[in-house]
Structure 1
Amino acid sequence: MFDILTSPDAWVALLTLTFLEIVLGIDNIVFITIAANKLPEKQQKKATLWGLILAMVQRIILLFAVSFLIGLKNPFYYVESSWFSAGISGQALILLLGGLFLLYKSTSEIHEKVELPEHDEEALEAKNITSLNRALFQILIIDFIFSIDSILTAVGMTSGIGDKPEDALVLMVIAVVISIIIMMVFANAIRVFINKHPSMQLLALSFLILIGFMLIAEAAHLSHARFFGSEIGAIPKGYLYFAITFSLLVEFLNMKYRKKEEFIEDLEENQDGSAEDPEC
């Protein structure tokens, strides 16, 4: 079964696929982080760990059912009208529902963080009481949606590798397990960092809104949806990752600038205090 690992081409494919699985898992980590931060502090690490374990288990199960997953691309219902037409498939429907769920979840979270009065401790406590099971259920749903994109990428990357059908499956399973383990190592550090910086929380939620729109556009593209004769194109994921990277870079610069401003203010206050002290 593991004879494929003696091939140099297989190792190149494995390394490339592992890297892509990690990149495709970034948006998954962001959602798991947001969901886990709603829990009491003692359950946050547990939710993050189990969220990633569920992601790994789901992806491995989907790999063994990959023929069924690819079959979801076939339209089962067609919509035809004078201004709109589309062929609805299972994959497009899942992406559409996932995108709508992300839009709802993200906007409601942003509303809570912006509109909820911080001085009202009782309101804060009421909002933060979220069960671990409820959080894991939400994570399970999003894991499944993100797993489809991940698995289809894996299938495309390993197509034609090896002489036996199970060769590609071995590479895909190894890549998924390695990528999830790497994400587990860094997930809690990301969660703590986002939880520590409120501006990063809002930025992460904004990323989820962006990802939600991308999933909806991808669903329309897979359905070959046409509005008034114009077909909706796919949004290249490179654009999305560039936008996220650029936004994070700007936010890191803002954090560094704010830290510098606070240092200067503290320094000026200490100097003023020393000047007013007659013993100095």
Structure 2
Amino acid sequence: MDFLASPEFWLALGQIIIIDILLGGDNAVVIALACRKLPPAQRTKGIIWGTAGAIILRVILIAFAMTLLALPFLKFVGALLLVWIGVKLLAPDEDGHGDVQGSDKLLAAIKTIIVADLVMSVDNVIAIAGAAQNAGEHSFLLVVLGLLISIPIIVWGSQLVIKLMERFPLIITLGGMLLGWIAGGMLVTDPVFANPDKWQWMFKMPQSDVVKYGASVAGALIVLAVGKFIVSRRTTGGDAAHG
């Protein structure tokens, strides 16, 4: 237990807590968006099971964190998935509710949570793994503590966001745009763009805050535009069908 007296241990743990607070909010938004249409009795189940599945995947991701960091096109594919999820949240499928069982809705929400968290947790996982390495032989303990700390942050945060969305529907639109923002930032930091010398055939993208923020803004606007376009097409089609 001597490690408890080590400043490095507590410094690393503090870094992990800050990382979870800063990056866990995005996951809370996704969970809230995915569960917002579930009956109140199923929301807690969706949040708990979705978060549990996401945490299990995080353990696996951390085990391969440094390898994942070097994989080309990982963040590129993840960015495309986030854009797709963001558009789906702004323009959800209009399935009939009569033949859909509650359990189907619950499973769909859980699936959305796990997929979104898997994509969005890459930076979170790598940051936690990097911070934990500062504690040497106790790094695995810090990883476990970091995951345990992230659970209440994500669960409590998502429940709060659900309540806010019921009162302020604009949050749904902002949540979808947030996914687009994250997607843009992920795309331009993919290794094939960040280290173009290793992939001579790739387009050389300048790495700067201006480029990253520009890509983030573009991602947010793309999600908003595509989502609104799909909704307007459905509205126009519905009016024509009833005309």
Match of 2:112 among 129, 138, 141: 138
Q: Displacement of 1:16 after TM fit?
A: 2.0
The one-letter code sitting in structure 1 at the alignment partner of 2:88 is S
In the alignment, the residues of structure 1 paired with residue 111 and residue 96 of structure 2 have an alpha-carbon distance, to the nearest angstrom, of 24
In the alignment, the residues of structure 1 paired with residue 68 and residue 167 of structure 2 have an alpha-carbon distance, to the nearest angstrom, of 41
Question: Which 5+ residue runs of structure 1 have no aligned equivalent?
Answer: 75-88, 117-121, 244-280
* Alignment partner of 1:151 is 2:125: yes
Looking at CA atoms only, which structure, 1 or 2, has the larger radius of gyration? 1
More strand by share: 1
Q: Displacement of 1:106 after TM fit?
A: 1.7
Match of 1:69 among 57, 65, 71: 65
CA separation of 1:229 and 1:53: change in aligned 2, threshold 3 A = closer
CA separation of 1:72 and 1:62: change in aligned 2, threshold 3 A = closer
In the alignment, the residues of structure 2 paired with residue 21 and residue 38 of structure 1 have an alpha-carbon distance, to the nearest angstrom, of 26
Q: Displacement of 1:217 after TM fit?
A: 1.9
Q: Displacement of 1:39 after TM fit?
A: 2.6
- The answer to whether the Cα contact below 8 Å between 1:22 and 1:180 also exists between their aligned partners in 2 is no
Matches within 5 A, 1:39-118: 39-63=38-62, 65=63, 68-74=64-70, 89=71, 92-112=72-92
3-state SS of paired residue (1:231): coil
Q: Displacement of 1:4 after TM fit?
A: 2.2
3-state SS of paired residue (1:72): helix
In the alignment, the residues of structure 1 paired with residue 207 and residue 14 of structure 2 have an alpha-carbon distance, to the nearest angstrom, of 30
Matches within 5 A, 1:15-54: 15-54=14-53
Matches within 5 A, 1:148-187: 148-162=122-136, 164=137, 167-187=138-158
TM-score, normalised via structure 1 length: 0.63
More helix by share: 2
CA separation of 1:23 and 1:93: change in aligned 2, threshold 3 A = same
Counterpart residue number, 2:187: 216
In the alignment, the residues of structure 1 paired with residue 146 and residue 91 of structure 2 have an alpha-carbon distance, to the nearest angstrom, of 38
- The answer to whether the Cα contact below 8 Å between 2:51 and 2:114 also exists between their aligned partners in 1 is no
Structure 1 residues 220-250: Cα deviation after superposition (integer angstroms, max 9, x where no partner): 53463789964242659x969xx9xxxxxxx
Q: Displacement of 1:218 after TM fit?
A: 2.3
Q: Displacement of 1:188 after TM fit?
A: 0.8
CA separation of 1:16 and 1:180: change in aligned 2, threshold 3 A = same
- The answer to whether the Cα contact below 8 Å between 2:86 and 2:180 also exists between their aligned partners in 1 is yes
In the alignment, the residues of structure 2 paired with residue 169 and residue 235 of structure 1 have an alpha-carbon distance, to the nearest angstrom, of 33
Please identify, of 11-20 and 211-220, the stretch whose mean Cα deviation from structure 2 is larger. Answer: 211-220
**Where has structure 1 moved over 6 Å in runs of 4 or more?**
122-129, 225-229
Counterpart residue number, 1:82: none
Counterpart residue number, 2:165: 194
In the alignment, the residues of structure 1 paired with residue 115 and residue 143 of structure 2 have an alpha-carbon distance, to the nearest angstrom, of 22
- State the superposition RMSD in angstroms: 3.4
Q: How many corresponding residue pairs?
A: 211
